[in-house]
Structure 1
Amino acid sequence: MTVSGDPKVVIVGAGPAGIRAAELLVSAGIRPVVVDEGMKAGGQIYRRPPEGFTRSAEQLYGSEAGKALALHDLFDRMVACREVEYYPQSSAMALAANVLHVLTPAGRREFAYDRLILATGATDRLVPLPGWQAPGVYSLGAMQIALKAQGVALGRRIVLAGSGPLLTLVAAQLLKAGANVAAVLDTSSVRNQILAIPGMMARPVLVLRGLAMRMKLGRLYRAGVTLRDIVSDESGPMAVRWRDAGGSDHHTECDTVGIGWHLRAETQLAGLAQCRFGYDPAWAQWLPQADRMGRSGDGVYLAGDGLRILGADGAEVAGRLAASACLADMGLPSPDPTRDLRRLARYERFARAIARAFPWPASMVRSIPDETTVCRCEGISAGDLRQSVDHGGGEANRVKSLARVGMGRCQGRFCQLASAELIAERAGTSVSDVGRLREQAPVRPLPIGAWIDEAL
Structure 2
Amino acid sequence: MSGTRKTLQAVIVGAGPAGIRAAQTLAAHGVRPVLLDEAARGGGQIYRRPPAHFERPASALYGTEAARATAVHAALDSIAERIDYQPDSLVWNAQGGLLDVLHGPTQTTRSLPYGQLIVASGAADRVLPVPGWTLPGVYSLGGAQVALKFQGCTIGSRVVLMGTGPLLYLVAYQYARAGTRVAAVLDTARLADQVAAVPAMLTQPATFAKGVYYVGWLRAQGVPIHTGVRPVRVLGSERVEGVVWSDGAKEHALACDAVGLGYALRSETQLADLLGCRFAWAPLHRAHLPERDAAGRTSVASVYLAGDGAGIMGADAAEWAGERAALALLADQGVAVDAARAQALEGKLAHLQRFRQGLERAFPFPTDWAAHAPDELVVCRCEHITAGQLRETVRESGADEMNRLKALTRVGMGRCQGRSCGVAAAEILAQATGQPVERVGRLRGQAPIKPIPIHLQAASQATGGAS
TM-score, L = length of structure 1: 0.97
TM-superposed deviation, 1:334:
1.8
Structure 2 residue corresponding to 1:316, chosen from 301, 316, 319: 319
Partner of 1:37 in structure 2?
38
TM-superposed deviation, 1:6:
2.8
- Superposed CA deviations along residues 287-306 of structure 1, whole A, max 9, x for unmatched, are 11100001012111000000
Q: CA RMSD in A?
A: 1.3
SS of equivalent residue, structure 1 residue 237:
coil
SS of equivalent residue, structure 1 residue 63:
helix
Partner of 2:284 in structure 1?
282
TM-superposed deviation, 1:379:
0.4
TM-superposed deviation, 1:78:
1.3
Partner of 2:158 in structure 1?
157
2:90 maps to 1:91: yes
Tell me how far apart the structure 1 counterparts of residues 65 and 323 of structure 2 sit (CA, whole Å). 20
Partner AA of 1:335 in structure 2: D
Number of residue pairs aligned between Structure 1 and Structure 2: 452
2:412 maps to 1:406: yes
Partner of 1:445 in structure 2?
451
Give structure 1 regions of 4+ aligned residues with deviation exceeding 6 angstroms: none
Whether the aligned pair in 2 keeps the contact of 1:366 and 1:421 (CA below 8 Å) is no
Matches within 5 A, 1:363-402: 363-392=368-397, 393-402=399-408
Whether the aligned pair in 2 keeps the contact of 1:21 and 1:319 (CA below 8 Å) is yes
Tell me how far apart the structure 1 counterparts of residues 349 and 390 of structure 2 sit (CA, whole Å). 39
Partner AA of 1:428 in structure 2: G
- Superposed CA deviations along residues 53-93 of structure 1, whole A, max 9, x for unmatched, are 121011111121111111111211211x2x11111011001
Partner of 1:248 in structure 2?
250
Partner of 1:351 in structure 2?
356
Whether the aligned pair in 2 keeps the contact of 1:127 and 1:365 (CA below 8 Å) is no
Tell me how far apart the structure 1 counterparts of residues 423 and 413 of structure 2 sit (CA, whole Å). 14
TM-superposed deviation, 1:439:
1.0
Whether the aligned pair in 2 keeps the contact of 1:143 and 1:154 (CA below 8 Å) is yes
Tell me how far apart the structure 1 counterparts of residues 195 and 51 of structure 2 sit (CA, whole Å). 40
TM-score, L = length of structure 2: 0.95
Partner of 2:114 in structure 1?
113
SS of equivalent residue, structure 2 residue 445:
coil
Tell me how far apart the structure 1 counterparts of residues 337 and 272 of structure 2 sit (CA, whole Å). 24
Partner of 1:14 in structure 2?
15
SS of equivalent residue, structure 2 residue 186:
strand
Whether the aligned pair in 1 keeps the contact of 2:370 and 2:431 (CA below 8 Å) is no
TM-superposed deviation, 1:365:
2.9
Tell me how far apart the structure 1 counterparts of residues 420 and 288 of structure 2 sit (CA, whole Å). 14
TM-superposed deviation, 1:424:
0.9
- Superposed CA deviations along residues 260-288 of structure 1, whole A, max 9, x for unmatched, are 11000000000001111112222212211
Tell me how far apart the structure 2 counterparts of residues 151 and 242 of structure 1 sit (CA, whole Å). 30
Structure 1 residue corresponding to 2:233, chosen from 229, 232, 248: 229
Quick check: 183-192 or 68-77, which moved more? 68-77
Tell me how far apart the structure 2 counterparts of residues 114 and 352 of structure 1 sit (CA, whole Å). 35
Tell me how far apart the structure 1 counterparts of residues 2 and 179 of structure 2 sit (CA, whole Å). 51
Quick check: 135-144 or 280-289, which moved more? 280-289
5+ residue gaps, structure 2, are none
2:338 maps to 1:335: yes
Whether the aligned pair in 2 keeps the contact of 1:3 and 1:30 (CA below 8 Å) is no
SS of equivalent residue, structure 2 residue 288:
strand
Whether the aligned pair in 2 keeps the contact of 1:17 and 1:318 (CA below 8 Å) is yes
Partner AA of 1:310 in structure 2: M
Tell me how far apart the structure 1 counterparts of residues 71 and 216 of structure 2 sit (CA, whole Å). 30
